[in-house]
A and B are shown apart, each in its own frame.
Chain A
Amino acid sequence: MPEVILSVKDLCLYYATRRGVVKAVDKVSFDLRRGESLAIVGESGCGKTSLARAIIRLLPRNVHTFDGQLLLNGQDIMKLDDEEFRKEVRWRKISIVFQAAQNSLNPVLRVGFQIAEPLMIHNGMPREEALSEAKKYLRMVGVHESFAERYPFELSGGMKQRAVIAMALIMKPYVVILDEPTSALDVITQANIMNLLKSIKSETGISYIFITHDVALSSELADKVAVMYAGEIVELTESEEFYTSPKHPYAQKLMASVPTLRADKKLEFIPGTPPSLINPPPGCRFHPRCPYVMDVCRSEEPPVVEVKPGHYVKCWLYAKGG
């Protein structure tokens, strides 16, 4: 088995607000191996983007708590100060494609220059060399290199997104975080981008953290799936396991709510409301919406149970004697 490239342990990111502390990421742990893709799925507002921000340390001003362990290739990167982290880790070892990133390109700068910029800033690479490197990456993401001279408005949405992906790859990071990389694109363009991400992965052995709310789409890339609910990972397993027999009641409900194009199925959504992250429900955070809720769920936090080798579920249903 390839080695662990990123190990996340008890990662927390809380925000301070007028109403109280928002526990957006609460003791999240997982390992990511070289060449592996981990999909993170979960409902809107459960903390997926916050988890990404915590890993790449792009934090808003109102951080209340930022804590836990992040080992990148064995190095404890939580120990680095912000300046060291910026110089050594961000973009260089871990990069990110943000949600709605294609709109983040600077409209007045040529595309090639924007892709080349990190090389000039972080590596001090001369302009000409960086620009030719940028063209190489444009070709790699399937965009003709002549587009390096164009402005963003001259590119289609899918091409812009590919340019942003080129930007995230150009520093040759170990890990790329993809935060909803295609949720703004049509399904053909999306399929194109997914094909591209697959081929980059098989050519470079890069690791992805693929954040999406779209369970069907997650299966395009995921070797493993982590399900997030209210700031916590509640299930983590191989994708073969996950798509065929999810164990956590929330994960089961989530799968059941996926509408399929081809089969007529009764639409379901999970009753009740998403939990507050300021005062999450006591015990299991899903208990107010869970069809199998037991007494213990209402008062005690469930343990993480390994139901099969490598398949973890945080739920009382699977605890022995629970």
Chain B
Amino acid sequence: MEEGVLRVENLSKWFTIRRGLLAPPLTLRAVDNVSFELRRGEAVSLVGESGSGKTTLGKTVLRLYEPTSGRILFKGRDVTNLKGKELLWYKRETGLVQQDPYGAMPSFMTISRILEEPLIIHKIGTAEERKEAVFKALEDVRLTPVEDFAFKYPHMLSGGQLQRVAIARALILGPSFVVADEPVSMLDASVRIEILTLMRELQEKRGISFIYITHDLSTTRYFSEWIFIMYAGHLVEKAPTKELIREPQHPYTQALLAAIPDPDPENRKRYREVPPGEPPSLINPPPGCRFHPRCPYVMDVCRSEEPPVVEVKPGHYVKCWLYAKK
């Protein structure tokens, strides 16, 4: 078995929301007691409802947010509390493709400058070599002819083009672990598959480990070994990709898969069945199972006690009372 690159133990990230001088601050539990492991060269797709804490989990693992509790181990080292030079080492070893490419790019820099910046910060190459690296990176993400894009400013690019710049930037330092936060959400199917194929090749060639955050379950089966499903700050299901798509176990995962359309002109004539209600508040999460107010199979125990994580098959974990031996 390949060595584990990343090991996350009971990681939590809670935000404090201040509401002026008089009101007591609130605690928002964006990531709550999450554990998983990732091996070298493997990709895991992190899927879940909007606002369930996917971005927060990714950023906390990369030490862009301070963890509230828990441990992060990277290549055998505890990186939970690294500081200064050592933290810089961790940053160089890791990369982030930011979710919102519009917000992630400094508007006063040209695309080529944006890509060159990390190389300059880490003092890599001569000006000539850096330019070459930047052009190569643009070519890799199919922003061609390169000259049409290199000297543009971010607002002159379409959403999908900016996303590709974000990918190029995250990979330019040659990291060994990357969190790609919805890196292709604005791309059409063809370019999406092309870019994901490219990321997959780089991943295999350079042995990069990926956390691929996405809403697009239909591509996960081709580009990741594992799928983790997140709901309201918890990982509610973890399984090998194909198995999860074939046999989803958690009621939330089942609803998620049922909501995905295939192209069909009949779709517009019918309403799609979805679980009732809203995703829960992370400030006052429902007691017991956080999905219980929307769950079609809810039982008494679900309303009061947090479900355990059950290994239903080797490597397939579900956090749900339906699978617990009573």
Contacts and interface: CB of A to CB of B under 8 A. Distances in A.
Nearest to A273: B144
B148 A258 contact: no
Given A156-B51, A214-B189, A188 B151 contact: no
A211 B126 CA distance: 44
Q: How large is the interface on B (under 10, 10 to 19, 20 to 34, 35 or more residues)?
A: 35 or more
B278 interface: yes
A268 B152 CA distance: 30
B92 interface: no
Contacts of A191: 259, 261, 272, 274
Given A187-B217, A191-B259, A221-B268, A156 B278 contact: yes
A274 B50 contact: no
A11 B96 CA distance: 39
A161 B268 CA distance: 20
B148 A99 contact: no
A254 B189 contact: yes
Given A220-B267, A269-B191, A45 B160 contact: yes
B271 A257 contact: no
A279 B26 CA distance: 55
B191 A239 contact: no
Contacts of B267: 219-220
A243 B152 CA distance: 36
B193 A257 contact: yes
Contacts of B263: 215-216, 218-219, 243, 255, 258
Interface in B186-236: 186-191, 193-194, 197, 215, 217-219, 221-222
A184 to B, nearest CB: 6
A261 B216 CA distance: 9
Contacts of B47: 186
Contacts of B272: 191, 194-195, 220
A243 B265 contact: yes
Interface string A1-41: 00000000000000101110000000000000000010001
B100 interface: yes
A187 B222 contact: no
B245 interface: yes
Contacts of A269: 189-191, 193-194, 197
A21 B321 CA distance: 61
A60 interface: yes
Contacts of A278: 148
Given A18-B151, A41-B188, A191-B272, 7 more contacts: A44-B191, A186-B49, A189-B279, A190-B259, A216-B261, A255-B263, A261-B260
Interface of B: 17, 47-52, 100, 102-103, 142, 144-145, 147-148, 151-152, 155-161, 163, 182, 185-191, 193-194, 197, 215, 217-219, 221-222, 245, 255-257, 259-265, 267-268, 271-272, 274-275, 278-279
Interface of A: 15, 17-19, 37, 41-45, 49, 60, 62, 99-100, 103, 153, 156-159, 180, 183-192, 194-195, 198-199, 213-223, 239-240, 242-244, 253-255, 257-262, 267-270, 273-274, 276, 278
